[in-house]
Amino acid sequence: MKEPHSIGPGRIIRRKKDGSLEYLRDDLTIEEPLEIRIGGKALATTMRTPGHDDELAAGFLVSEAIVRDRSAIGEISADGENRAIVSLAEGVKVKLSSAQRFGTISSSCGLCGKTSIDEIRQNFPAIESGNVRIDIETLLSLPEKLRKAQSDFTRTGGIHAAGIFDLTGEVKIVREDIGRHNAVDKAIGRALYRAGLGPQPPPPIARQRVADPQLSLAFA
């Protein structure tokens, strides 16, 4: 299936000093709804930039504590009609109530739309402290590295990004989306597909962390 376009042409109308109108072309970030389904059940609809929809669906399932690792997912198909259909692995049962929201999820923070504070507090194990240390120069270099990898932002100036780096500061995954939380979910979903979220059950994902020793830093 052809990857959907994330950028579309737009036209700017500008009035000049003499009162005449000037028409200019500009690249604009596309925003469209995506319906995430598990089998025949609609789970959520989010506003996102088309592209990497399977990764977005996988990251959403992890961030919402519906699944914990790659083994729970059989396959995810994006049908080109703004739907991502998730098939769970054989024998896997999930609790969907934690992801229930009123109406359509906007492209703003993923907490928006929750019906109660309790639904925000997902059932994740506590984060264990470790001995990982990151050189301060490496840490401070991440925003610029992420910026250089934002090809869509270079064209439009209007799209968020999330990146996952290793401990040396090397870029491993970068995803862009009109919604910041969607960009993070796409990065998480890609990490889930490529390497899993680590040998142990993943720790709490506050939409900023991925629990893989090779994918240790996340920045959005």
Catalytic residues, by residue number, are 109
8 A C-beta contact, residue 9 and residue 19: no
Q: CB count, 10 Å around CB of 115? A: 10
Cα-flanking dihedrals φ and ψ of residue 201, to 5°? -55, 135
Q: For 22, which DSSP code? A: E
Cα-flanking dihedrals φ and ψ of residue 219, to 5°? -140, 130
Cα-flanking dihedrals φ and ψ of residue 54, to 5°? -65, -40
